[in-house]
Amino acid sequence: MVGSAGFPIWQSLPVARPSIVPIALTLDDRTGYTLWAPPWEEDGEEWQAFLGTTVEVRADINDDDPENPVPTAVVHLFPSPAALAAFCRSSTDHDLADHPVWPVVAGLGAADLTPDDDHRFDLDGVYDIAAENPDRWAVEELAATIDIVSRLAECLDTADEEDDDLDDDETEFEAVAELVAKPEIGSLGLGAEAFVGRSGEDAWLGVGTALDELWEDVVEELGEHLDWTGAATVAVTDYPSASEAAPVAVDDDLDDVDDVDDDDLEGDDANTGASAGVRTIAGGGGRLVHDPAAVAKAAEFWEAVGILPVEVVVPEGAGLTLRCYVDDVARFLGRDGEVFLFDTPAELSRFCAGSETHDLTEIASWPEVAVTDTRPLPAEQDRYDLAGLSEVLGEVADGAAGLVAHASLAQPVEGARDLAEYVSLPRVEELLSPTAPLGRAVAIGERQPDAVLRPEDAAAVRPAWDEIVGLISGKLVFRD
């Protein structure tokens, strides 16, 4: 655990209440799982940390023949969320043991310690990303990967503490420092807009050039501090390769969808509902999986026609629909105050190709939707998990404080507002008004995105949210 003085955070976060986030790192064709504690303030100082410790290790931590042990800060990586959970339940000899929310984390299972898509970082894939067009997915993924590397370097850098021969501004991670100091790399934090036009094209080329020059040195520096033995609990050969951890492919035929076989997932990981890098759409008791690249490719068509696939998750199930905005008012695939939901992209596509009338028929671009063979795959920002938020609020109300930020309300609430407006549920807006408990909690998230929900906050807003979910669920029609 280190303070924020020293190696600069490339893209700093506001200091919030303490929280711990599961992450996955892919490097040298291996994927490992660990925990990251984003910056928080304690006793007037700012801290951030990863699941690791300082140990006496040889020059290569993963070498079976130790020579000349030296004190080295390392991050422990585990081959699966289940292995990570087992370590958390049994060990307190690490840098997160004194973290304020560690007692809660120590009781979590593999499903809770499985990273979401935003916290999976493929260090092997940066060259491929830089070779793509600088759309928002490529820019955001590259920015996030470099950001986590800089945070790792900050926490692992003990140069000032351990080596009196180094000047105050020197670091063990010289290549990382040089990379994040590049102006083109800094532009990643501005989003895809920074790479538009002639100057933007030059900046994107500059990003690729910087990576060509420095990335191999960056991963070499970082690799010396990554423990691929899970604090001596596993062997290096236990880690899945990038191909083994890759997303499951979806068949090109819209009528054929590959299901995930639970027998292919070991131990507690079978309960997560997805393998590494895979989003899950639950519906009708089945599971459809597809990789982020397929989502990004499909988005080119859907964004062009101005009608986007949306996933809605309620206690009764999950389904896909379509949504657009007309004069800033949401309009969904439905009719007579009801929203149509479909179990799979194939079923949604077949409906769109049919002749049944609905409220999107009159949209100018609908004829393109009716004949397209592009799968309706929802992007992460177009997934409205109303049921998931209910579960989270219940867990926090029961004492799991410190793990959920107020900002986690934003996406489900946005979806609820859109759906309620379309199906005419004025009661939803009453429950979300600025003077109501739930409305106040949402407003806090807008002002302080990293402010963490307290148990009393969750207990106060959960009844209102459950009422909203019930009202909306009554307006959803699951179609065959």
**Which tens digits make up the pLDDT trace of 38-90?**
887 777 777 889 999 987 755 555 555 555 667 789 999 999 988 898 898 88
Mean pLDDT of the chain: 80
Higher pLDDT, 257 or 209: 209
* Mean pLDDT across 298-327: 92
Q: Kindly list the distances between the CA atom of residue 217 and the CA atoms of 5, 188, 210, 477, in Å, as whole numbers in the listed order.
A: 24, 20, 11, 54
Among 105-114, 210-219, 357-366, 459-468, which is the least confidently predicted range?
105-114
Among 45-54, 103-112, 425-434, which is the least confidently predicted range?
103-112
* Mean pLDDT across 369-376: 94
Tokens of 76: 């422990």
* Mean pLDDT across 303-332: 92
Q: Which neighbouring-strand residues pair with 2?
A: 48
Q: How many CA atoms lie within 13 A of 337 on its CB side?
A: 8
pLDDT digits (tens, 9 = 90+) for 199-219: 889 999 999 999 999 999 999
CB 289 within 8 A of CB 311: no
pLDDT at 167: 54
Query: Whole-prediction pTM value?
Result: 0.52
Residue 439: is its pLDDT beyond 60? yes
pLDDT at 360: 96
